[in-house]
């Protein structure tokens, strides 16, 4: 089975010297997404400090497979009288709909 390496870039690069043996590229893509999600959940302060985190996956021979990157920009918006954050999105927006959903159902 092939070995894939997952390098993390924040303010600097954290080079993966060990890699992970996975059955195929599909499994590597899944692992990369799960890894980025874990970083965001467990180290949110690192993300907000830089505003950008990337996971770069490479094959055993060093060629790039993919880059996952997430960025954020803090924007201060003063809602109009009587309007909350939901008004920032169009009335039929999936984001707005998910914000209005029962919070117990959001993470299922």
pLDDT tens for 24-76 read 999 999 999 999 999 999 988 888 888 899 999 999 999 999 999 999 887 77
Residues in a beta bridge with 55: 8, 68
Closest CA to 65 of 36, 24, 101: 24
pTM, rounded to two decimals: 0.67
Residues in a beta bridge with 97: none
CB 60 within 8 A of CB 16: no
């Amino acid at each position: 089975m092939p070995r894939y390496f997952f390098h993390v870039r924040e303010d600097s690069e954290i080079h993966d010297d060990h890699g992970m043996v996975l059955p195929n590229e599909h499994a590597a893509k899944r692992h990369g997404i799960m890894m980025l999600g874990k970083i965001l959940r467990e180290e949110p302060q690192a993300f907000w400090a830089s505003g950008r985190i990337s996971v770069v996956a490479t094959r055993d021979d060093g060629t790039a497979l993919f880059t996952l990157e997430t960025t954020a920009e803090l924007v201060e918006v003063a809602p109009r009288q009587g309007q909350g954050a939901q008004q920032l999105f169009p009335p039929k927006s999936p984001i707005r709909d998910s914000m209005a959903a029962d919070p117990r159902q959001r993470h299922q």
